[in-house]
Amino acid sequence: MNRLLACLAVLVLASHFLAAQIASPSSAAQPNVTTTATPEVQQFQKIEDQWSNAVTQRDQYALENVLSALFVDVAANGDITTRNQQIVAVISGDDKSLALTQKVITVRMLGDIAVANGTYTMRHKVNSAIVDEKGIFTHVYERAHGGWVCINSQRTALKEDAAGKQKKSSPAIEPFHFPLFGGKN
């Protein structure tokens, strides 16, 4: 009886091992949906660098090559602009301090559409003061004419903590403390 149970246990474990080995090649054949340090991230970082340089150097032609004619931008303050409005703002704006830096963190490839997420720093004037706005972005790209053009941009500014303000410390011993279940309190 013990031998029968031992053989059955070995057979079950072997079948699970075999099933895992068979499943591995099929899952490896599927492309990565979210990536961090891949050729796609490097490819889109180059595009984001072209975009940043076009804004910083006020280069209309370079900006036209990165942004689709259908481009829509939702700024961190909620303003919605088109490609033409972006170009006009960059080349004829009074803000000579305008500079943009973007870093791609992830890229999701969805056929002829790609979604790039990352961080940005934008130096610009607010009233008469120069401000470094830091935030995150989502850019949606479309494959067109053998390259990629941005069709949609969404930016969200990160909240700055006041310099003298200290963060409130939690009285909880563990990160998820439920007073009803902890026994203390």
Q: Say if CB 74 and CB 105 are below 8 A apart.
A: no
Percent of the chain with pLDDT over 70: 66
Ramachandran angles phi, psi of 16, nearest 5°: -65, -40
Which of 54-63, 123-132, 154-163 is the most confident on average?
Answer: 54-63
**Selected residue with higher pLDDT from 163 and 74:** 74
pLDDT of res. 175: 52
Which is nearest to 134 in space by CA: 152, 116, 156? 156
Q: Say if CB 9 and CB 15 are below 8 A apart.
A: no
Domain ranges of the chain: 39-157
pLDDT of res. 107: 96
The answer, yes or no, to whether residue 15 has pLDDT greater than 70, is: no
Give CA–CA dist 103/82, Å, rounded: 22
> Is it true that domain 39-157 has CATH number 3.40.640.10?
no
pLDDT of res. 24: 45
**Selected residue with higher pLDDT from 59 and 185:** 59
Report, as an integer, the average pLDDT of 110-136: 90
pLDDT of res. 28: 45
Residue whose tokens read 């050729």: 39
Report, as an integer, the average pLDDT of 152-176: 69
Report, as an integer, the average pLDDT of 124-140: 88
Give CA–CA dist 100/60, Å, rounded: 15
Ramachandran angles phi, psi of 131, nearest 5°: -125, 140
